[in-house]
Amino acid sequence: MPWLNLIVDSDADQAEALSDSLLDTGALSVELLDADADTPDEHAIFGEPGEPLPGIWKHNRISALFEENQDIGTILRRAADKIGLTQLPEYHIETVADNDWVRHTQSLFVPIPVSPRLWIVPTWRTPSDPDAINIMLDPGLAFGTGSHPTTRLCLRWLDNNLSAGETVLDYGCGSGILAIAAVKLGAASATGIDVDFQAVQSSRNNAIANKVTDIRFHLPEDAPSGKYDLVVANILTNPLRMLAPLLANETRKGGRIVLSGILEKQTQDVMKIYEQWYEMNAPVFEEGWACLSGSKR
């Protein structure tokens, strides 16, 4: 049986109320997404230390799933009326084929070669190269499965440049993939920090699954203070701008920093900010995304 997927764009004032109303009027599930994703206006919804929590994006995209043969226009009108929305927002409807969703989703994720010796492997897959450094990682609630260019850029940097015995800070650790990779590549220890508790828990679980020790994950308020040989932050440009003094303070003199989550056209802006503390190297690009690195003066 196929399904119907309703796509509606909504601003921050109405997105949550409309999502709840759609659930009340028959939606099987509702997902709220950033309508500005993969653009310069993309931003995280989790606040940084000392900053208020935004809680919701400025421009939101609602994705609501319904059974087939539903009158989606009427349902949307009813949901809008329930929250006092007088003007019906623009929307479109997609048909979603019926599938064994678990098997279908798993089939989309295959081992990812980051380099000849470093692979990201879903736990239900057999490693393509058992002798390689294989990071076993499942898609989940936290960002960072190795499929996004920014993650691959950071992983390749670690593979090519990490020195054995270094201490590593992964700020905005997501799934913990960069911290886990650092330890597997020879780091003495790694600390991961994320403002999202689910990301911290996911990172801890992934470290256990990879049998990695000398690694810890924390919320910012629980994180230990210290100076690190290497600081990695794969987040978004706006948080990277704001976090520059904090990340610089966490980097020892002569230590290094690696940054990604930056669109190619935002590269010079971010570099100028970090040049206050670091000698920055030439950026590396992949699929419109940038990876920056530098050494602290």
CB 278 within 8 A of CB 294: yes
What is the average per-residue pLDDT within 126-152? 80
Indicate the average pLDDT of the chain: 87
Residue 45 pLDDT exceeds 70:
no
pLDDT digits (tens, 9 = 90+) for 273-287: 999 999 999 999 999
Give the phi and the psi of residue 52 in degrees, each rounded to 5: -65, 155
Q: Beginning with the edge strand found earlier in the chain, give each strand of the sheet holding 112-115 in spatial order.
A: 112-115, 118-121, 133-136
Residue 33 pLDDT exceeds 90:
no
Domains of the chain from N-terminus onward:
3-98 (3.30.70.120), 117-296 (3.40.50.150)
Residue 182 pLDDT exceeds 50:
yes
Q: Which residue has the higher pLDDT, 61 or 215?
A: 215
Please state, in angstroms and rounded to a whole number, the distance separating the CA atoms of residues 215 and 167: 10
- The DSSP secondary structure of 124-147, one letter per residue, reads TS--S-TTSEEEE----SSS--S-
Q: Residue 1 — very low, low, confident or very high, per pLDDT cuts 50/70/90?
A: low
Residue 49 pLDDT exceeds 50:
no
Residue 55: exposure state from Cβ atoms within 10 A (0-12, 13-18, ≥19): exposed
The structure tokens 């994720």 sit at 109
Beta-carbon count within 10 A of 109 CB? 19
Buried b (16+ CB within 10 A) or exposed e, 218-237: beeeebeeeebbbbbbbbbb
Please state, in angstroms and rounded to a whole number, the distance separating the CA atoms of residues 137 and 210: 8
**% of the chain with per-residue pLDDT over 90:** 60
Question: Whole-structure pTM over 0.75, yes or no?
Answer: no
What is the average per-residue pLDDT within 72-87? 91
Residue 159: exposure state from Cβ atoms within 10 A (0-12, 13-18, ≥19): middle
Residue 297 pLDDT exceeds 50:
yes
Q: Which tokens is 255 given? A: 């230590």
Give the phi and the psi of residue 176 in degrees, each rounded to 5: 85, 5
Please state, in angstroms and rounded to a whole number, the distance separating the CA atoms of residues 110 and 275: 38
Please state, in angstroms and rounded to a whole number, the distance separating the CA atoms of residues 291 and 160: 13
Q: Residue 53 — very low, low, confident or very high, per pLDDT cuts 50/70/90?
A: very low
Confidence at residue 44, expressed as pLDDT on a 0 to 100 scale: 57
Confidence at residue 269, expressed as pLDDT on a 0 to 100 scale: 97
Highest mean pLDDT among 35-49, 80-94, 130-144: 80-94
Residue 117 pLDDT exceeds 90:
yes
pLDDT digits (tens, 9 = 90+) for 216-253: 999 999 999 889 999 999 998 999 999 999 999 999 99
Q: Which tokens is 103 given? A: 């098997």
Residue 208 pLDDT exceeds 80:
yes
